[in-house]
Structure 1
Amino acid sequence: MGLIGGMARTAVVAGTATAVSNRVSRRQAGRWQAQADAEAYQQQQYQQPAYAPPPPAPPAPSSSDDLIGQLQKLGALRDQGVLTDAEFQAQKARLLSA
C-alpha cells in the first residue's frame, strides 16, 4: 500500500468517525428536546388556572327590611352578570339561614 492508499484509508476512517459523531450528537439533542418537552408539559398540567376571586359576601342583615334589600342587591348582581345563578343561590341561602 502506498501513500495514496494510506491517505484514502485515513479519509475513510475520519469520514466514518465524523458521521458517527454527528449521529450521536443528533440523537442526544433529540433526547434532550424530548425531556424538555415533557418537563414543559408537566409544568402546564400543574399550573392552576387563574380565576377571579369571588365577590365578597354581603354583611348579614339586621332586620327584615335589610334582608329584603340584601336579596334585591343580590338579584341585581345576578341580573348584571356579576354573580352566577349558583353563587346567587348560595348567597341567598346564607342570608335566609342567618
Structure 2
Amino acid sequence: MRHRGFTTNHKLVMRLMKLAHLTCMLRVKKYHSYRGEVGKIAPNLLKRDFKAMKPNLKWVTDITQFKLFDQKLYLSPILDLFNGEIISYTLS
C-alpha cells in the first residue's frame, strides 16, 4: 500500500488482514529491554581495563535471560578476568 501512495497505520493493516483471514502464522516480536527501577549507578572502577595481572584481582558479572521450555531463565556467572574462569554462577 505504501508503494501505491497510501499512508496507513500497521494496526489497521493487521485488522484488515484479520478480517480477510490473511493473518500471518508467526508475528515477529520486538526486543524490549526492562530497565527496572532506576537507582544508584555503580562507579566505573575498571575503566574498560578488562585484564588482570593476577588471579582474584578483578571479578565481573552479568545477567543473561533466555527462554527454555516456555520459561524464562536467568544466568548470572561471576568471572575472574585473569584467566576467564567462572568462579560461581546462579541460575534461576
Q: TM-score range by the shorter chain?
A: under 0.3
More strand, by proportion: 2
The higher radius of gyration belongs to 1
More helix, by proportion: 1
TM-score, normalised to structure 2, is 0.26
